[in-house]
Amino acid sequence: MRRPYAVTTAVITALTLLLAGCSGGGGRDTEDGTVRLSFQSLAWQKESVDANKELVREWNAAHPGIQVDYVQGSWDNVHDQLLTAFEGGEAPDIIHDASDDLADFAYGGYLADLRTLLPDRLKKDIPQQSWSTATFGDGVYGVPFLQEPKVLIANTKILESSGVRMPTPAKPWSWAEFRQVTEKLTKKGAYGVAWPLKEPVSVTLNLGLSAGGQVFHRGADGKAVVRFGEDDQVMPRTVRDQVNSEGSAARTALGMGGSDTLPGFFGGKYAMVPLGFSYRQQVVEQAPKGFDWTVLPTPAGDGGLAQGVSPQTLSVAEDSPHKEEAAQFIDFLLRPANMVRLAKGDWMLPTGTEALADPALHTTENGWATGAALARALRPAPAQSVRGYPEWKDKVATPALQEYYSGAIDTKELKKRLVEDGNRVLARYQR
C-alpha cells in the first residue's frame, strides 16, 4: 500500500516545483527608471516574426532607457483577447491589429488618438487614403503600415499558349475582357478561374470598387445606407455568370478558402486564382518544380484598378502610461528601411511612400512589381467604419451572396436582401 502514496507524493512535489515559477509578473517599469513597453505583434510567418524581433532588438540596443518586450499574439480571437485586456486594464502598450478591427476599440476609448503623438515624417510618409482606414470620428487610432491587394495569380504556360493578351497594371483587363479570357482558357476539366469565396463579402465589396461600386453610402446626417446599383453589380454578376452560365469558373471553388485552391492551380485545373498578394509565399513554397506562374492585376472598370483594403495597423493603448515612448517606437519600426523589412517578411506592400519606392519591391521576381504598381489604387475597404457592418455581413450579406454566386437567387433578390434587410440591420445601430 505504500507505493501509491509514494507516487502521489512524487507527483505533488513535481507539480509544486513546476508551479514555483508560475506566479504573475510584476510592474512594467524597472526601479532604475527604465520604461518597459509591451508590443503585441501578430506576425506569424517565420520571416515576419524574425524581422519584428530583430527590429525590437535593434531598438532595445539603441534605447537603453525604453525597453520593448516582444509579445507574440495570434490573429485567432484577437478581438476578444484585446477587448478583455482593455477592460481589465492590462492591454499591451503597442498593439498590432487590422484597420477593420479597430472601430469598436476606437469608439470605445481604448486606443490613444495618435494625431499629436506621431512625428510629421511618418504622417507625411503615409498617404491620406491609408490614414483614412484608421480614422474614426476626428481621431486617428492606428498607423496603417502593411496592405494586401487582391491579385490574379496565373499559370503562365496556360495563358501564353492560349494567346490571350497579358494584362499589366498600365493596361489591365476590363471586367468584360476578363470574362472573355476565362471562357477562352476553359477546356474540358480545366477552368479559366477559381473564385475562392468561402468569405464572399469582403472580396465582393473590395473588388467592386474597381467598377465604381460603393454599396455603403453616407447621407448628410452621417448615417450609412446600403445601395446596390449597376456599378455595384458588375463584379458579382461577372462571377455568377462565370460559374453558372459560362462555366468558366469552378463551382466547387466557391466554398473554398484561398489556400484550398492552390492544389488545383498547381495541377492545371484552374488557369487563374484571385488571391491576396501574400499568398505568393505559399505559391513559392508549394508549387511543383518548374511551375511557371505570374502575378496579374485584377480587372479594372470605371473605377480603374481601385480596390478596397484593410491595412494592418499599429496602435497605442489609451491606458498606456508611456504613450509618447510607444509612439517613438512605432516611428522607429516604420522608418522606410524598416517598413520594407516588415513588408518583405509578410509578403505584403508597405503603405509608406518612401518604403514603397524601394527597388526591392519593384522586382519582377514573384510579382512584387505588379503589386507595387497597384498600391496607388488601393482605397479603404468600403464598410470598415460602418457601424452594424459585422451583423450585416454575417446575417444578411454572406448567405445572400453565397446563394447568388451558386445561382440559387437572381440579382433582383440579392439586391432586395442586401438593401432592404441590410438597411434594417444598419438602422438599429445608427439611431
Binding site for other proteins (CB under 8 A): 11, 15, 18-19, 22-25, 38, 42, 44-46, 49, 69, 71-72, 74-77, 80-81, 83-85, 87-90, 92, 98, 198-199, 257-259, 262-264, 266-269, 276, 278-279, 282, 285-289
Place of cell 505588379: 370
Of 23 and 128, CB closest to other proteins:
23
Place of cell 526591392: 360
Of 120 and 285, CB closest to other proteins:
285
d(C-alpha 143, C-alpha 126), whole Å: 9
Of 77 and 168, CB closest to other proteins:
77
Of 313 and 423, CB closest to other proteins:
313
Nearest distance, CB of residue 113 and other proteins, angstroms: 24
Q: Which residues pair with 155 in a beta bridge?
A: 293
Of 16 and 128, CB closest to other proteins:
16
DSSP letters spanning 388-406: THHHIIIIIIHHHHHHHHH
> Are the C-beta atoms of residues 74 and 82 closer than 8 Å to each other?
no
> Are the C-beta atoms of residues 348 and 277 closer than 8 Å to each other?
yes
Nearest distance, CB of residue 311 and other proteins, angstroms: 12
Of 18 and 337, CB closest to other proteins:
18
Nearest distance, CB of residue 171 and other proteins, angstroms: 30
Of 280 and 415, CB closest to other proteins:
280
Q: Who's near 217: CB < 8 A, 6+ residues apart?
A: 224, 225, 226, 227
Nearest distance, CB of residue 229 and other proteins, angstroms: 28
d(C-alpha 210, C-alpha 231), whole Å: 9
Nearest distance, CB of residue 71 and other proteins, angstroms: 6
Cβ atoms within 10 Å of 128's Cβ, excluding its own: 8
- Element (DSSP H or E) covering residue 22: none
Residue from 106, 97, 307 nearest 202 by CA: 307
Residue from 321, 320, 194 nearest 256 by CA: 194
Nearest distance, CB of residue 334 and other proteins, angstroms: 19
Residue from 36, 28, 39, 35 nearest 96 by CA: 39
Nearest distance, CB of residue 245 and other proteins, angstroms: 26
Q: Who's near 424: CB < 8 A, 6+ residues apart?
A: none
In which region does residue 304 sit, left (phi positive, over 0), alpha (psi from -120 to 50) or beta (all else)?
A: left
> Are the C-beta atoms of residues 342 and 145 closer than 8 Å to each other?
yes
Of 138 and 285, CB closest to other proteins:
285
Nearest distance, CB of residue 41 and other proteins, angstroms: 10
Of 289 and 431, CB closest to other proteins:
289
Nearest distance, CB of residue 255 and other proteins, angstroms: 13
| Residue 160 vs residues 174, 196, 200, 246: alpha-carbon distances, Å | 19, 24, 30, 22
Nearest distance, CB of residue 44 and other proteins, angstroms: 5
Nearest distance, CB of residue 49 and other proteins, angstroms: 7
Of 38 and 130, CB closest to other proteins:
38
The amino acid at residue 156 is T
Q: Does residue 162 sit in helix, strand or coil?
A: helix
C-alpha cell at 42: 501578430
Of 41 and 214, CB closest to other proteins:
41
Residue from 133, 168, 170, 139 nearest 154 by CA: 168
d(C-alpha 348, C-alpha 352), whole Å: 12
